Structure 1
Amino acid sequence: MSDTTELAPLRIGTRASELALTQSRQVGEQLVAGSGRAVELVHVSTHGDRDRTTPLAQLGGTGVFVTAVRQALLGGEVDAIVHSLKDLPTAAADGIVLGCVPPREDPRDALCAREGLALAELPHGARVGTGSPRRAAQLRRTRPDLDVVGIRGNVGTRLARALGPEADLDAVVLAASGLMRVGRTEAISELLDPAVMLPAPAQGALAVEVTAQAVQESPWLAERLQVVEDPQTRAAVTAERALLRALEAGCSAPVAALAEVTAGGALRLRALAIRPDGSHAVNGSAEIPWDPAAGPLSGPSSAPARLGEQLAAELLERGAGEILEQART
């Protein structure tokens, strides 16, 4: 038997931002735990990283941070890739499988404001930055007096727009999960209740993608993927992404969804589609009994996927399609 120090490292393809590197390293260490292997992070530049000025919706939204790292995986340059799951297109990619979904971080959005102000405390006309049409629309619905400004950049760049010495905004809104992963929780002035700002589908969750061949040929990796997998998170994001797919909306559309296991033992999904100006929203909820042993937790025929499709159909009947069409045009 060869010495474990001779085992090849697990090569993980990742974007080079602080957040991407941090979450890739954290997941990589979970995957190799007890295997005697090291983690090697392989930086991959994506179109979304190279173009820092164009709004994400104009870049194409869905998949803008994904294509290049998937090509590195299929080309054999890396063994696995780690994404923020909300960035993944809902359509399957040939030759690639969603190997595992680790436990979800806090899915809420976070307000990071000067002087620690909460959303209700921001002055009339305050300038609030976000690169998300979903966040912008919900901000306008709650506080139509705000001046919502489109911004791009990594976590540090966006925080500096509100909290740095040359700040030009009163606040920015970011995903709480990203701030928590990079150790910037001190910047959070308020965690926004989902009743005020419902998160993006799969926000706070990570995805580990591998090739189908790797699962078959690397028993140690297949075993570790099962260990790191969190069934509750898998079921929740499956429902949220099924709804997104059924609405035919990309990750940059003004659509929000959050599935959670309730104290009563149900998987409950809440969702909304909202006009970009925040003037009208169609929202709803649905639930199914939560029984992880009852059947598959993912896939088009799974109960969580059917839950997402059911709620999407209800929203479409009540006008969500018209809202999303207005957003596209």
Structure 2
Amino acid sequence: MSSFTVGTRGSALATTQTGHVADALASLSGLTPQTILVKTEGDVTSGPLAQLGGTGVFAAALRVALLKGRCDLAVHSLKDLPTAQPEALVLAAMPERVDVRDALCARDGLTLASLPAGATIGTGSPRRAAQLKYARPDVDIVDIRGNVGTRLGRVKGSPEQADDGGVGRVAQRDLDAVVLAAAGLRRLGLQEHVTEYLDPSVMLPAPGQGTLAVECRPETVADPGSPLAAALAALDDDATRLAVTSERGLLARLEAGCAAPIGALASVDGELLTLDAVVCAQDGSDVIRRSASTRDLTDDGARALGVQLAELLLREGAADLAGL
């Protein structure tokens, strides 16, 4: 084996993320990376993201390409992956997590606190919408779709963006602000558009946010003498995997997906893994926010922590509050 093939979506963010991973694996393995573009349902279907069939709309086609042998690896944004893992595929590596926060990109340098009453904020995420309404009940949330550049182009006074999905969209400039993942903006070099990084105390991120996941067939990592298998093992970050395993364990127990108004963030501090989670009413009128910790720093311990916190949230009425 002198090379490996990585499948990716065609957006600027996806190809950038895939390129970073491919280059890292090439450096670790000495192999030559190749990429193939895979069009997914989430890229070709219009309408609110939350109505596109739940979790996995961006992942399914990449997984089919893997299973059919069209590529050796696929790179996902972990927050887009369903919590149920297909038996025929494995998450072989999760590189060190980057910025987990959500970012406000507003006109005139405004922050969430300084936006005027009645301001319009665009997001396609029920989680972001609910937490925004809880923090600022006097703003209007507008459901939006599109790549990062298209969304930034919705902000009044914004410049044209290159990441328009290749269809020549014209910037609408009809909103006061949009909220996007800080990690994606940083990876695309667009952080100058951020007017405020939203602290997790105000807005907890999606489970897995800021984390990439490298998926492959089991045989790819089965051979300990394989340069690619060794590179995947070296790329995997233990603290990141523990944190997101607990976050996704919570999400799985709540039987919720990326369309649910749920935020979660875990971190490892010394020998302690702590998980914070929030469940919101869809309209942002109320939230339940709780945390839990464990010293069992194993995958099973992390997953159990997520389940434990989910059980607490359910006992306190999370299912009824969020309509789970």
Matches within 5 A, 1:235-314: 235-262=242-269, 265-289=271-295, 291=297, 297-298=298-299, 302-314=300-312
Name the TM-score, length of structure 1 as normaliser. 0.91
The aligned amino acid for 2:314 is L
> CA separation of 1:222/1:34 partners in 2, compared to 1, >3 Å: closer, same or farther?
closer
Spell out, residue by residue over 1:197-246, the C-alpha distance to the aligned partner (whole angstroms, 9 max, x if none).
01000000010001002222571111101110100000000000000000
1:149 counterpart = 2:121: no
- Do the aligned partners of 1:25 and 1:39 also contact (CA within 8 Å) in 2? no
Match of 1:319 among 313, 317, 322: 317
Percent identity, aligned pairs only, is 53
Question: How far, CA to CA, are the matches of 1:44 and 1:216 in structure 2?
Answer: 25
Q: Do residues 113 (structure 1) and 120 (structure 2) align?
A: no
1:121 and 1:259 map into 2 onto residues whose CA distance is 29
Q: Structure 1 CA distance, aligned partners of 2:83 and 2:172?
A: 39
CA drift at 1:166: 4.2
Aligned to 2:163: none
> Does the 8 Å CA contact 1:261/1:290 hold for their aligned counterparts?
no
* Match of residue 75, structure 2, among 65, 68, 82: 82
Matched residue count = 310
Offset at 1:304? 0.3
Match of 1:95 in 2: 88
Residue 141 of structure 1 aligns with an amino acid whose one-letter code is Y
**Aligned equivalent of 1:134, options 119, 127, 135:** 127
CA RMSD of aligned residues (A): 1.3
**Which of 30-39 and 56-65 deviates more?**
30-39
Which ranges of structure 2 fall in alignment gaps of 5 or more residues? 160-170
Superposition pairs for residues 169-180 of structure 1, below 5 Å?
169-180=175-186
Q: TM-score, normalised by structure 2?
A: 0.93
Task: Identify if the C-alpha distance between structure 1 residues 130 and 245 changes in structure 2 by more than 3 Å, giving closer, same or farther.
Answer: same
* Aligned: 1:28 with 2:2: no
Matched, 1:231 2:238: yes
Contact 1:138 1:278 in 2 (8 A): yes
- 2:200 counterpart of 1:194: yes
SS in 2 for 1:33: helix
Higher mean C-alpha displacement, 114-123 vs 210-219: 210-219
Q: Deviations over 1:76-115 (max 9, x none)?
A: 0000000000011100112100101100010000000011
Counterpart AA for 2:204: L
- How far did residue 283 of structure 1 move? 1.4
User: Residue type matched to 1:239 in 2?
Assistant: S
SS at match of 1:312: helix
Aligned counterparts of 1:118 and 1:34: Cα–Cα separation in 2 = 41
2:220 alignment partner in structure 1 = 214
Rounded Cα–Cα distance in structure 1 between residues aligned with 2:266 and 2:10: 30
Q: Could you tell me which amino acid in structure 1 is paired with residue 191 of structure 2?
A: T
Work out whether residues 74 and 216 of structure 2, in 8 Å CA contact, stay in contact via their aligned partners in 1.
Answer: yes
- Give the structure 2 partner of residue 3 of structure 1: none
- Structure 1 residue 290 displacement after superposition: 6.4
